[in-house]
Amino acid sequence: MIYKAKKEFDLALLQYQKSLAISQKIGNRGYEQATLNNIANIYSQIGLSDSAFNYFQKALYIANKKGDKYGLSLINRNIADIYLIKQKYDDALNTSIKALEYSLGTGATEEVYLNYELLSRVYKQKGNYDSAYYYVKHSVLKDSVKNVKTRAEVAEIQSKYESDKKEKENTLLKKHKPKYNIDLK
């Protein structure tokens, strides 16, 4: 993942191939699916959409076998992006609708938001501006996701503050602890 972030795609692919081999050897289908998706994302990022599509299909097969709705949403969204790049707008639309349906079944708000955003891009590319409904849902959901993230960040800061405060109180108590314990019985 670090190589991918640094855009060192050859090294990232090499490491992902090693990860894929290990996942397959130990029979961990979840890691295998995630690794296939990551490999596909790199191929997509470097413009090798046919290779990306093949790896997404392999990941999709595993997600289907596992009944992983979140994975099915994510992978279908990625496949729809490839269809958009290839200007296969009907395929992009059908696949993005599938992705949205899966994401709605997961309760993963951010994934739903990303699928609405994808649908708005697909409709825009198709010239179907009457389907702005998806953009409206996307905007509302985007605000909702931002609010959830903001609340989570505030809660984390509050928790850290309370923890630090307790730690300082304990340190002070230990510092000012009497040297002798006197039993007054």
pTM score of the predicted model: 0.69
Q: Report, as an integer, the average pLDDT of 123-135.
A: 73
**Which position has the token pair 């019985």?**
185
Determine the residue type at 92.
A
Q: How far is CA 159 from CA 40, 52, 165, 168, in A?
A: 39, 42, 10, 14
Are 15 and 4 in contact, with CB atoms under 8 Å apart?
A: no
Name residues whose C-beta falls within 8 Å of residue 130's C-beta, 6 or more positions apart in sequence: none
What is the per-residue pLDDT across 71-80, written as a single tens digit (0 to 9) for each?
999 999 999 9
Are 31 and 19 in contact, with CB atoms under 8 Å apart?
A: yes
| Cα-based angle 4, 54, 125 (whole degrees, multiple of 5) | 80
Over pLDDT 90: what percentage of the chain?
52
pLDDT-derived band at 158 (thresholds 50, 70, 90) equals low
